[in-house]
């Protein structure tokens, strides 16, 4: 897909997301318009980069549908200058959107599959988001070296919110994460840290994410 065609397809998708009210915040709309999703989607799915569906990104993982990403970004209400940890880098696309909202140096994303992390790094660089840090590791443990975070956003589903995430939140920090039974039956939880360190949790939309595999999540599949 040529670049002007991609830009046109991108803007059509974004207007659809606005029309269906998945996107309400003008800053989220701006972010979707800025990030070229086609650069994060491998062949042969690239021609579907601007269809509102999840797409395979290799290693058995998927990039979420744009409408699902929009729901998460709207729930997270990311402000400029906030520190963000994304758990589950995958293609790097969601991290690029987060960096438009928070500022590129404020976003770190963690991925357990080293080859995918390398791909995410490459995609982010190609799209001009090289300031986003991609680390390899078990994000169910958070990423203590850059804590505290104003936002921890997970794009893989855990059985419950891992305790290290709450511990790594700044005062009034938020967690947006799919939680529920393994087989793609989760609820998007939106949690906020109270002054006493406990979480106030609200249930958002039902959703279907790949499992979060780690010490504080699901055991390794084999
Ligand atoms: N946000 C991604 C989509 C991620 S798919 C994007 O925009 O493309 C979920 C990702 O979570 C997969 O790449 C999977 O390998 C990763 N993952 C699963 N368990 C993890 C863990 N414990 N720590 C870090 N990443 C994990």
The CA distances from residue 157 to 42, 176, 184, 209, in Å, are 23, 11, 8, 6
Burial, 222: exposed, middle or buried (Cβ in 10 Å; 0-12, 13-18, 19+)?
Answer: exposed
Of residues 45 and 3, more confidence is placed in: 45
Q: Does the Cβ of 138 fall within 6 Å of ligand 1? A: yes
Record the pTM. 0.97
Backbone phi, psi, residue 160, to 5°: -160, 170
Do the domain assignments include residue 214? no
Do the domain assignments include residue 181? yes
Do 110 and 139 form a contact (C-beta atoms < 8 A)? Answer: yes
**Does 64 qualify as catalytic in the annotation?**
yes
Q: Report how far residue 193's alpha carbon sits from residue 146's, in angstroms, rounded to the nearest whole number.
A: 18
Average pLDDT over residues 171-179: 97
Q: Does the Cβ of 212 fall within 6 Å of ligand 1? A: yes
At residue 40, the pLDDT reads 97
Range(s) of the domain holding residue 90: 4-207
Do the domain assignments include residue 185? yes
136 alpha-carbon distance from chain centroid: 15
- Give me the sheet containing 84-87, strands edge to edge: 133-136, 107-111, 84-87, 149-154, 169-179, 186-193, 199-207
Which residue is catalytic, options 2, 11, 45, 64?
Answer: 64
Q: Are strands 61-63 and 84-87 parallel, antiparallel or unpaired?
A: unpaired
At residue 185, the pLDDT reads 86
Q: What CATH number did the domain enclosing 63 receive?
A: 3.40.50.150
Q: Does the Cβ of 186 fall within 6 Å of ligand 1? A: no
- Out of 40, 87, 88, 137, give the residue to mutate to test ligand 1, the one with the largest number of ligand atoms within 8 Å of its CB: 88
At residue 66, the pLDDT reads 98
At residue 221, the pLDDT reads 72
C-alpha 94 – ligand 1 centre gap (Å): 11
Question: What is the rounded average pLDDT for all residues in the chain?
Answer: 96
**17: pLDDT strictly greater than 60:** yes
Do 87 and 178 form a contact (C-beta atoms < 8 A)? Answer: no
Do the domain assignments include residue 54? yes
Do the domain assignments include residue 221? no
Structurally, how many domains does the chain consist of?
Answer: 1
Do the domain assignments include residue 202? yes
């Amino acid at each position: 897909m040529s670049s002007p065609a991609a830009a046109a397809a991108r803007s059509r998708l974004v207007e659809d997301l606005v029309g269906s009210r998945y996107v309400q915040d003008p800053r989220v709309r701006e972010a979707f318009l800025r990030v070229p999703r086609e650069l994060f989607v491998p062949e042969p799915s690239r021609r579907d980069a601007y269809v509102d569906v999840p797409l395979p990104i290799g290693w058995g993982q998927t990039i979420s549908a744009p409408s699902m990403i929009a729901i998460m970004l709207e729930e997270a209400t990311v402000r400029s200058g906030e520190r963000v940890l994304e758990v589950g880098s995958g293609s790097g696309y969601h991290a690029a959107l987060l960096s438009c909202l928070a500022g590129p140096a404020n976003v770190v994303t963690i991925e357990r599959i080293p080859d995918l992390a390398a791909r995410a790094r490459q995609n982010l660089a190609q799209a001009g988001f090289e300031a986003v840090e991609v680390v390899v590791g078990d994000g169910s443990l958070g990423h203590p070296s850059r804590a505290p975070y104003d936002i921890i956003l997970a794009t893989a589903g855990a059985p419950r919110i891992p305790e290290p995430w709450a511990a790594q939140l700044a005062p009034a920090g938020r967690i947006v994460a799919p939680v529920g039974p393994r087989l793609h039956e989760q609820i998007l939880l939106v949690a906020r840290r109270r002054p006493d360190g406990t979480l106030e949790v609200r249930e958002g939309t039902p959703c279907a994410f790949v499992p979060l595999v780690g010490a504080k999540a699901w055991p390794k599949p084999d």
